[in-house]
Structure 1
Amino acid sequence: MSVRIITNYGDLKFELFCSQCPKACKNFLALSASGYYKNTIFHKNIKGFIIQGGDPTGTGKGGESIYGRYFDDEIYPELKYDRRGILSMASKGASKKPNTNGSQFFITYSSLPQLNGEYVIFGKLIDGFETLNTLENCPSDKSHKPIDEIIIKDIVIHSNPIADQEILD
């Protein structure tokens, strides 16, 4: 299963880890299919670290999951922040306040081993690295909010019937 996040700067295509993180993937896919993320912004952009979005209020304080406010962590040691383009749930962190996943997500700009075990990793970038480079270089203010809006125009779900059947079995 993969998704394409369409931004005003280009597209980002992610492979989702539905077998390992079914709750996170179901949440992200259901919110995407319902248009929840459509025309929302990435509200945080930190060069060399992450870009974060998924909050319909655009403040970084809003959003909720399809399960209610939050859902449980799905953290597995084999899923690591070992590369650029890791797709992860933005929560309060497993060691600080576990099981606080809602609608917000982030994408890494580099390998970030210090985040291992803290946040739910549910996908990786497979196409659109040039777009990720462009986003990383968009200037932000002192609070890390992009000066020019980075808009999630839509999220398109790509289905692979063979892989999808394996998930359902």
Structure 2
Amino acid sequence: MYCLIFLIVYLITPMTSLQITHKLYFDVNVDGKSIGQLNVGLYGIDVPQAVEKFYQLTISDDPNVNFESNAHFNFLEPNEYIRCTYKGTLSNGGIDPEEKLQSSFDRRGLLAMVNEISNDWFITLAPLPHLDGHYIVFGEIIQGMEVFQNMLNEITIDDHNTIEQDVSLDNCGELEIVPLNQRQMRNLQDTLQMEAEKPARTLHDEL
């Protein structure tokens, strides 16, 4: 009887932990010098739209679209975050702002979207609880924190916090897709179906 009750509660209780569904890699260069590789995990169940956008920008072979040709870290807020700006041709938009409600900036090394209508993103340098609910956390560094720190050590900024070096991503790609169990797959399918039924948001809607 108790086992049955536990099973029912398990099946009807929504997942609250952030499940890593994709693992990607980036080689980081500073002024053409290779610093090393960052491996990141993405939360595809909790914030599927943000993850799908980031994933496609990472794995694309199109030099007009992918991060490898079009993304640079160009802004550093000391002790808070470093921002990566996207200059490619992929259109903005397409992320439900409600995905921000999943966000908890509780540690260093989290990846977050600058906003739901931009392809820019940032990595946290420390816990930033004042950002909770304001930006979409969609992943985390899972390996290469020492590379991340080495990158930061190579950087200097001007009076406006603009990074003075050319900090680029190179050789971006996918490490693996993490298999989902049946319950997680159903939750993801339900989420994507609900998102597909919502009216499309555009940049005009935000202004």
- 1:147 aligns to 2:172 (yes or no): no
Determine which of 40, 46, 50 is the counterpart of 2:77.
46
- How far apart in 2 are the matches of 1:2 and 1:141? 34
Larger Rg: 2
Preserved CA contact (<8 Å) 1:13 1:126 = yes
Aligned residue for 1:160? 177
Bigger strand fraction:
2
Aligned residue for 2:128? 112
- How far apart in 2 are the matches of 1:130 and 1:86? 15
Preserved CA contact (<8 Å) 1:70 1:102 = no
Unaligned runs of 5+ in 1: 58-62, 92-99
- How far apart in 1 are the matches of 2:127 and 2:111? 12
- How far apart in 2 are the matches of 1:54 and 1:14? 18
Please show how residues 16-165 of structure 1 align to structure 2 within 5 Å.
16-35=42-61, 36-39=66-69, 40-56=71-87, 65=91, 68-73=92-97, 74-77=99-102, 79-91=103-115, 100-137=116-153, 138-160=155-177, 162-163=179-180
| Matched residues, number | 153
Runs (4+) off by over 3 Å: 163-169
Shift of residue 48, structure 1, vs aligned partner: 0.9
Unaligned runs of 5+ in 2: 1-21, 30-34, 190-207
Of all paired residues, the percent bearing the same amino acid is 24
Q: What RMSD in Å do the two structures reach over aligned CA positions?
A: 2.3
Higher relative contact order (CA 8 A, sep 6+): 1
Preserved CA contact (<8 Å) 2:49 2:94 = no
Aligned residue for 2:26? 5
Partner AA of 1:19 in structure 2: I
